[in-house]
Structure 1
């Protein structure tokens, strides 16, 4: 649907001047990979203003949390970012364990860290393979074999290919399968061998560079004003990573240096993503080596009825798309009185109103593809 409007105060059309066009894109659009709507004001092919309109996938997750016990919440929580289910579960269990004053077995801590990094690689590879395909740069099938290998590894451990439901309050559902660490080692090595292909076929591709270098710049101040985190923020020089700055799980014993760029454009965001894949593979190798020599249980016995003491806490984690936070308020019941979800994608997509103006309609696809959002993570 397109409508044309004349600028306010224009008495009559002046020869050579153009009228603004209001263009509604969505809520279904292939380059958004979800039900997102954009309301663009155009001056010819140039974007003058942009308004992201969200809410088409809203499930009321936060209200559903309030009528589920803490075991059931894990199932709901891992679905808002369907690329990062394991990371989504972590925030819930960490918040509940903190309220209970519960110490998780060390083997579970390292296993959680390993699974979180494998899930991070899986999420990043999706953006590195699918969005360049939208621009006609990446060949069809790039990344499919690597992602299938990682999905198989995660499925062997958790039983799920997408929604893992493997975290539990007090640890993990069960111990890792026998021989699974060997499979992890082979899968990590296989993905690492393919990374030069991503470098050559995406970042070094002249067509990809033409569509992304200097496009969609986000300055440091804009990043901070909108509360943007994750790869997008680090591509604009904001070196913030909770794995280093507020360590949780086993990250306090691992060396995590934020991967940063300064250009802040689409190309820089994809460079950060690829470098983070390399970093996560290294962290996964370190976790695998530690787990080989770390016996012990992976969970604690819980009471049949789990009640969280009265109080409140905030648990945040460095999810693949950025900071994922849960603010838990308990009144001593089996269900939370309030469980607020702070998702990374919501902040990321709000900045479209800042980054899109000044670009052409043709730039819309590379910019959307480099903002790294999942629509379910926006709408919750």
Structure 2
């Protein structure tokens, strides 16, 4: 499998010099303000970009938010901890399992029961989280290809994503918003036959990922549209708080599944891919896309390892109860607490403030990775062409339910 994700070549058509920046003074005419959006799928949801242009050259981009109003944090401050989980699903609704995992892990750490969670539950959480990571990356890759003119990858990605959604629906009863990962456990154990069907899907998916690489990231037109475009230097990424594929695409091998070592991830063997400028400049749109493609392979490896543990070391038993450690009343001590986890789009963090008397948080704050990643768009778009802006915003992979939370 490793041979399918290693690049040791540069096509001949990339040997020629490619302009890295268009200088506004070369085309100086008169500045104009364009409003791009809100629309879908070109700007991935309810987002308006105020673009200052000089001819075709972008002078500045100001993102305007506030068309969705999930109000997650205010909802959370009026509900008990265990009833907040369905609202967590609705932030990044493309990766709800991952968001649930981060939130639940935070509450468990506050209660001091994190180490009491049975290994079977931990491995099931990894399986569903990595399946959802695959589904999220399929949306990112498919819609991105469609944004810049290729329709076939979108159809292929939606076809394969549909199989993941069917698995998760069989597991939880819901198609996208699951309420499956509970504080202290799970809603249900895996259905009988889930492990076998999941392995069948993984076997089916591997050749499809090779086709995806050939169709998209190796494609000459895709490379020309994304290489040297939207370059995000590593210091800028760090200063803006970018995380996930945005940060790793700029060359930093930083993944909270390794850094924080939460759940069952310390027991799994996986790599953290980074952008290396193989087709252009390190940190460009191509590198960010490349990182997401390789992460799909790494998720496949983690799912296989977790399923192997679930079918050998931590098999289903008659007396296994996934709700055995679910607390009847969640009332943590008075404290300020922050926890973070690696979502498909980056670091998702939750801050809680509790008073020790109530099961409702006094303050709940979500650190949304899409919000930070989107904030850098003005910095990496200056000097690009208007046509490149669509490629840049697509490479960020934002979900506005998480941004306007």
Indicate whether the TM-score tops 0.5: yes
Task: For 1:281-360, list aligned pairs within 5 A.
Answer: 281-293=300-312, 294-295=314-315, 296-302=320-326, 304-332=328-356, 333-360=358-385
Shift of 1:301: 4.5
Aligned equivalents of 2:157, 2:88: Cα separation in 1: 27
1:84 aligns with 2:109: no
Task: For 1:1-380, list aligned pairs within 5 A.
Answer: 18-102=29-113, 103-139=116-152, 141-262=155-276, 263-293=282-312, 294-295=314-315, 296-302=320-326, 304-332=328-356, 333-380=358-405
Shift of 1:58: 2.0
Question: Secondary structure of the residue that 2:156 maps to in structure 1?
Answer: coil
Question: Secondary structure of the residue that 2:100 maps to in structure 1?
Answer: helix
CA contact (8 A) 2:28 2:54 kept: no
Aligned equivalents of 1:131, 1:59: Cα separation in 2: 24
Aligned equivalents of 1:115, 1:142: Cα separation in 2: 21
Question: Secondary structure of the residue that 1:34 maps to in structure 2?
Answer: coil
Aligned equivalents of 1:183, 1:135: Cα separation in 2: 35
Structure 1 unaligned residues grouped into runs of 5+: 1-15
Q: Which range moved further: 287-296 or 353-362?
A: 287-296
When residues 250 and 270 of structure 1 are mapped into structure 2, their CA distance, relative to the original with a 3 A threshold, is: same
CA contact (8 A) 1:113 1:287 kept: yes
Question: Secondary structure of the residue that 2:188 maps to in structure 1?
Answer: coil
Structure 2 unaligned residues grouped into runs of 5+: 1-26, 277-281
Aligned equivalents of 2:305, 2:249: Cα separation in 1: 26
RMSD: 1.4
2:13 maps to which residue? none
Aligned equivalents of 1:159, 1:24: Cα separation in 2: 41
Aligned equivalents of 1:119, 1:68: Cα separation in 2: 26
Shift of 1:138: 4.5
Q: Which range moved further: 140-149 or 126-135?
A: 140-149
CA contact (8 A) 2:48 2:65 kept: yes
